[in-house]
Amino acid sequence: MTSYMINNLVLSLAIFSIGIIGFLVKRNAIAILMAIELMLNAANLAFVTFAYSFASVDGTILVLFVITVATAEAAVGLAIFIRIYRSRGTIDVDKMTTLHG
Amino acid sequence: MMSQPTVPQLFWVEVAPFVVLCIWALAIILADLFLPAERRRVALPLGFLGVVLIAYLSIQAFEIPGNPFGGMLTLDTFAFFCIVVILVGGGLTILISPRYVQREHIPHGEYTALLLFAMLGMILLAVSNELITLLLSLEILSLSLYILTGIERHNPRSSEAALKYFLLGAFSTAFLIMGIAFLYGATGSTFLVTIAERLPAAGQQSALWVFVGFGLILAGFCFKLALAPLHMWAPDVYEGAPTPITAFIATGSKVAGFAALWHVVMSLADWQAMTQNTFYVLWIIAVFSMVIGNFAAIVQKNIKRLLAYSSIAHSGYILITILVIASVPAVRTNATQALLYYLMAYMLMNLLAFGVAIACGRKGDSNIEHYAGLARTSPLLAAAMALAMLSLTGVPPTVGFVGKFYIFSAAIQAGYLELAIIGLLASVVSAVYYLRVIVVMYMHEPSREAAETAREPVGAANSLALLVSSVMIILLGIFPFWFLGLK
């Protein structure tokens, strides 16, 4: 494992962890969505790093698919957020307490 | 070295079910656009017709085992059974929908098309043999289900369920993608077959990456399958989503998820280093799911939440078969049969229970108390619900009993006696809450208001679905080989 790989993977895992922490501590749905996007892009960085080390195109192509997935998710997610905001005037996830046991 | 891309040969008959289903769903959206408002109801029957057509095309496609799209999909016997289960489930879901869709003013075209897209994701997930395909099918499935969960636009509970489902679903997808990255990094391929071939040669560092990758993928699947430490979203989403969609999430997405997990586990199962270490993780998840699901269900007052916790417990039972497949090659065939049979059984029992819930639930009311005296006001519905509950408990001669028998005997053959015992004890606990529903229906007096107001008619399609699933629950319980002998 060469040094660029170590650097990239450490960076990737760091971004991924920041995403997880963001998901857990943020209360605004948009901020949570941004944290998820961070995690997806951390995975993209890992894909490119591995693809470079194998000198194969598979990993690079995978990144394009992940970007597409992330976009589709953002589109659906933002639509849901708007729906929630219209009916409640807030997208704070702590206020989502209608459903509970 | 850059690998030279080759154009794989494509046989129309092999890919027809997937292509036609996609076109069919798009056609329904388009038709919905041009039809006058009062004719739009035709979407649901059209959707059902589509499911029948896909069933026919799938039988054609699976005549000869094949690997279309350059080996990205695999049309093997396992996938065939999964597709049978998914199509039966999808068909029944469409049958139980019309009344509900009508009552809650859900747009017919979008509803049907999204349901078909979700089914497309499911059947692709069942046949995908490559990680990119797996990821994309899972996303087709998940995105359709997020929208369907929130499709009751004027019901804040539906939107809230969609928000929770979306956030946690997207979070778990991120784990899955990171896991795929590490598996790819360890082996240099995204094809499960190639990964299985390259694993024995893996060095220490690659082995570590495989473990990390599999752990992350497993975490992603635990979310999607509502397995124990990561099950918290399920009760809220099940309660808030439109009831037919809850039925579809509870059944179809679990079948597809377990099919995909089976493919991933099978590609790693022959690698010695893997089998010894994954054992503990899967064991713990299975036990947690069975215990937490069953105990939490006891205190539930809402039938949809009760079924949500029960589905967590059932995922735990099903995970036992995955554990056996991963760790004991000798029992693999038996465990796979148990897995397939239980998926079918689980699908039928849950769709029957949700079908009754739709037939006798008024707007936003799915409290168990609401079923008091149902045996007197509508005896047939009460009998169907009782059958579903008995089957979920595992009483012979229903599919639930045979399914649990297969699972626990596979576990005992593989030497996991303690898992079988925990599972049996958990089933005994589950009797407490399943039988409570029966007690409420048969022993409690109906409330005055329920006795006076005439119940709205169940509807032909819903009655048909309830009848078909009841008959299949009993027949497949008596003759399990009718299903297992299909191919």
Q: Where do the structural domains in chain A lie, given as residue ranges?
A: 3-95
User: How is chain B split among helix, strand and coil, in percent rounded to 5?
Assistant: 80, 0, 15
Judge whether B50 lies within some domain.
yes
Nearest C-alpha in A relative to B147 = A76
Alpha-carbon span B424 to B404, nearest angstrom: 9
* Residue from B117, B151, B167 to probe the interface with A (highest A Cβ count within 10 Å): B167
- pLDDT score of B275 more than 80: no
Single-letter amino acid, residue B282: L
Query: pTM higher than 0.80 for the full model?
Result: yes
Helical pair B77-96 and B108-127, crossing angle rounded to 10 deg: 170
Q: How far apart are CA A89 and CA A78, in angstroms?
A: 15
Q: Is the pLDDT of residue B396 over 70?
A: yes
Q: Phi and psi for A89 in degrees, rounded to 5?
A: 75, 10
- Report CA Rg, chain B: 22
Contact A40 B177 (CB under 8 A): yes
Percent of all residues in chain B with a pLDDT value above 70, rounded to a whole number = 94
A49/B185 touch (CB, cutoff 8 Å), yes or no = yes
Contact B368, B440 (CB under 8 A): yes
Residue B1: pLDDT above 50? no
* CA B202 from centroid of its chain's CA atoms: 34
pLDDT class of B453 with cuts at 50, 70, 90: low
Core vs surface per residue B169-182: b (16+ CB within 10 A) or e: bbbbbbbbbbbbbb
Q: Decide which of B410 and B482 is more confident.
A: B410
C-alpha torsion sign, points B358, B363, B367, B369: negative
Residue B5 maps to a domain: no
CB-based contacts of B247, cutoff 8 Å, min separation 6: B93, B96, B350, B351, B354, B355
B430 phi/psi in degrees, rounded to 5: -65, -25
Say if B4 falls within a structural domain.
no
A43 chain-B contacts, CB cut-off 8 A? 174, 177-178, 180-181
Which chain B residues are within 8 Å of A46, Cβ to Cβ? 178, 181-182, 185
Alpha-carbon separation of residue B187 from A6, A11, B32, B129, B260 (angstroms) = 17, 21, 47, 15, 19
Kindly report, residue by residue over B327-344, the tens digit of the pLDDT: 888 888 889 999 999 999
Identify the pLDDT of residue B116: 95
Give Rg (Cα) of chain A: 17
CA angle B156, A79, B122 (to 5 degrees): 90
**Chain A residues touching residue B180 (CB < 8 angstroms):** 43, 62
In contact, B44 and B112? CB cutoff 8 Å = yes
Architecture label for domain A3-95 = Orthogonal Bundle (1.10)
* Domain extent at residue B278: 12-484
With 70 as the cut, is the pLDDT of residue B450 above it? Answer: no
Please tell me what DSSP assigns to residue A98: S
Q: Which residues in chain B (124-183) have CB-CB distances under 8 A to chain A?
A: 132, 135-136, 139, 143, 146-147, 150, 153, 156-157, 159-164, 166-167, 170-171, 173-175, 177-178, 180-182
| Torsions phi, psi for B290 (to 5 deg) | -65, -45
Do residues A75 and A33 make contact, with C-beta atoms less than 8 angstroms apart? Answer: no
Asked whether residue B2 is assigned to any structural domain, the reply reads: no
DSSP E strand stretches across chain A: none
Query: Chain A contact for B6, CB < 8 A?
Result: no
In one-letter notation, the amino acid at residue A101 is G
Distance CA B82, CA B67 (A): 16
Angle ∠(B223,A25,A39) on CA atoms, nearest 5: 55
Question: Which range has the worst mean pLDDT, B111-125, B280-294, B434-448?
Answer: B434-448
Tokens 């069942």 -> residue:
B126
Nearest Cα to Cα of residue B218 among B157, B282, B279, B280: B282
* pLDDT per residue as tens digits for the range B460-481: 888 899 999 999 999 988 888 8
Answer whether residue B278 shows pLDDT above 80: no
Lowest mean pLDDT among B95-109, B144-158, B260-274, B397-411: B260-274
DSSP per residue over B138-179, as a string? HHHHHHHHHHHHT--TT-HHHHHHHHHHHHHHHHHHHHHHHH
Which ipTM score applies to this complex?
0.95
Q: Which amino acid is at B347?
A: M
- A81 contacts on B by Cβ (under 8 Å): 163
Q: What is the DSSP letter of A99?
A: S
> Which of B166, B235, B236 minimises the CB distance to A76?
B166
Angle at A65 between CA B196 and CA B53, to 5 degrees: 80
- What's the domain count of chain B? 1
Name which residue leads in pLDDT, B274 or A60.
A60
Instruction: Please give the pLDDT value at position B366.
Output: 76
Which chain B residue is nearest to residue A88, measuring alpha carbons?
Answer: B156
pLDDT tens, position by position, B105-144: 889 999 999 999 999 999 999 999 999 999 999 999 999 9
pLDDT at residue B2 greater than cutoff 70? no
pLDDT mean for each 10 residues of chain A (101 residues): 86 95 93 94 93 86 92 94 89 80 55
For chain B positions 115-134, those within 8 Å of chain A (CB to CB) are 132
Q: Are B169 and B226 in contact (CB under 8 A)?
A: no
Render pLDDT for B351-360 as a digit per residue (tens, 0 to 9).
Answer: 999 999 888 7
Neighbours of B5 (CB within 10 A): 8
3-state secondary structure of B66: strand
| Chain B residues near residue A69 by CB distance under 8 angstroms | 135-136, 139, 173, 177
Q: Cα(B125)–Cα(B252) distance, rounded to whole angstroms?
A: 11
CA trace torsion B62, B63, B64, B66 (10° rounding): -20
pLDDT class for B204, splitting at 50, 70, 90?
Answer: confident
